Structure 1
Amino acid sequence: MKPMLVIASVIGLLACSPQGTAQNDANLNTAHLERMGFVVESADESSIAGVYEVITDQGLVYVTADGKTLIGGRLYDITGDEPVNVSEVAIQDMRRNDLAQIVDETIYYKADNEDFVITVFTDPTCGYCRQLHSNLQQYHDVGISVRYLGWPRMGLQGEGYEQLKAIWCADDKAAALTAAKNDQPLSQRSCDHPVDRHFALGSKFGIRGTPAIVLPSGEMLPGLVPAQRLLGQLENGQ
């Protein structure tokens, strides 16, 4: 069975090194994960004795120390007044760390009075992505800058993928992205584009559609979020 099917069957967590022993803890046997096609990026002891929190190229999973049992689902700390989603904390850390590695690959629309920077996975063929982009000034007016990454909704094929490749190969990527979202023609150029990497990263984050907004905290919001509502979430540290 393919890893993605296994994750789905056990309520997998697509969140977030070379293939081999996990970097953070050499006591975990990762051979079975690797045999299934997972690339293990890191592993740490979880809050459950004998269970490891493992970040792979395809998401966050939990594995017993002998590496023989894969556990899907979210862990909650229920010792306080309110349950704390421990898994979501790990996922948000992963998103922040991963995005920091590719900040130079984003298309950056900066607000004059920048207070917050969000990262948006986008597809120029997506209606809600176009709506977000057409309202970009509303985000800028409340101090929100936008960094775009490409995430073709139909996968690594089709019109969205071809447009995203052309955008990231353009000399003026910001102008090309705006043009594509306004149905203007793009110059078809070839280059060593990062769109495939962006798609893999978004899939790892758990994206199922566009736009997908990642906040500075690492929290991810699916769909179009109006500027004022988004500002409220950012100001509340969400």
Structure 2
Amino acid sequence: MKKNFVALAVTALMTVGFAGLAHAQSQTEEYIKKMVSANIGGGVKVDSVTKTPYGGLYEVRMGNEIVYTDEKAKYVFVGSVIDIKGTVNFTKQRTDELNRVNFSELPLDAAVKYVKGDGKRVIAIFEDPNCGYCKKFRKTLQTVDNITVYTFMYNILADDSIAKSRDIWCSSDRSKAWDDWMLNGKVAPAAAASCTAPHEKVLALGKKMRVSGTPTVIFTDGSRLPGMVDVKALEEKFASLKTSAPAVAAK
């Protein structure tokens, strides 16, 4: 009976102790969030504050940007946290985790579909019709076999991007019209007044996913590569994927 009583007492003390630590931790994180929000300026919104397992630092996340601070929020550290051997970039790991998306939940009906070969290797891309790097990347894709590409026309670069994308979307062959423009500069026929394009839907999707530039490539494992990707990097990424491409319905 005595042993049972001692065990219960120890358990109760540990529970109270852990609860106290959790409460104190929560208070520190709220304090940091308040201080950073008040002092960083520019209308920047602090999404979360989390204590890290390295150096007593706290991670401060603002959208897809991460900075670090101390428990009193006196200093802000900008940059990557890397282990002493230089083999692990903890900041990049965390950023990749935050940017990961559920590929199966992407609204592929709002994308232009292109298939080459057996189409087993699947990617989605956010591109703007006025993006020079996107045009270069389209040329790269012409050299890649057995691929399915879902292109979200993400109109963020110029005033006429919306009109160009709408004309392409309303073409009888969207995929051909997109490649004609991106590869050869051939303008698509003007869309009928009754035709609508998913501009608002894609724009909202890109903002939700924090897509800040074009091209941005999304892989079936939910990871992304911003900027133009060369054939070598693309093939290496495909080779590293451990899961098979999700089943996607034809659009």
Same fold (TM over 0.5): yes
* Stretches of structure 1 lacking an aligned partner (at least 5 in a row): 1-24
Alignment-derived partner of residue 35 in structure 2: 32
Alignment-derived partner of residue 84 in structure 1: 88
For 1:124, which of 101, 122, 129 is the aligned residue? Answer: 129
- CA shift in 2, pair 1:186/1:200, >3 Å: farther
Alignment-derived partner of residue 67 in structure 2: 61
* Stretches of structure 2 lacking an aligned partner (at least 5 in a row): 1-24, 243-251
Q: Is structure 2 residue 116 aligned with structure 1 residue 147?
A: no
Shift of 1:113: 3.4
Moved more, 173-182 or 49-58: 173-182
- CA shift in 2, pair 1:144/1:192, >3 Å: closer
Shift of 1:31: 1.8
Q: Is structure 2 residue 165 aligned with structure 1 residue 158?
A: no
For 2:98, which of 83, 94, 100 is the aligned residue? Answer: 94
Alignment-derived partner of residue 197 in structure 1: 204
CA distance in 2, matches of 1:43, 1:146: 37
- CA shift in 2, pair 1:72/1:169, >3 Å: farther
CA distance in 2, matches of 1:39, 1:112: 45
Cα contact 2:154–2:202 (8 A) shared by 1: yes
Q: Secondary structure at the match of 1:149?
A: strand
Which deviations, in whole Å up to 9, do the C-alpha atoms of 1:104-125 show, x marking residues without a partner? Answer: 1651435563443333221112
Q: Aligned letter for 1:57?
A: G
Q: Is structure 2 residue 56 aligned with structure 1 residue 50?
A: yes
CA distance in 2, matches of 1:109, 1:39: 38
Alignment-derived partner of residue 17 in structure 1: none
CA distance in 2, matches of 1:59, 1:93: 12
Alignment-derived partner of residue 113 in structure 1: 118
CA distance in 2, matches of 1:180, 1:38: 38
CA distance in 2, matches of 1:171, 1:42: 46
Q: What root-mean-square deviation, in Å, do the aligned CA atoms of Structure 1 and Structure 2 show?
A: 3.9
Figure out how many residues of one structure are paired with residues of the other and give that number: 203
CA distance in 1, matches of 2:239, 2:116: 16
| TM-score, length of structure 2 as denominator length | 0.60
Q: Aligned letter for 2:200?
A: H
Structure (1 or 2) with the larger CA radius of gyration: 2
Which deviations, in whole Å up to 9, do the C-alpha atoms of 1:179-211 show, x marking residues without a partner? Answer: 653421342647671344355467x4564xx43
Shift of 1:40: 3.3
Which deviations, in whole Å up to 9, do the C-alpha atoms of 1:2-30 show, x marking residues without a partner? Answer: xxxxxxxxxxxxxxxxxxxxxxx734131
- CA shift in 2, pair 1:125/1:42, >3 Å: same
Percent identity, aligned pairs only, is 20
- CA shift in 2, pair 1:34/1:145, >3 Å: farther
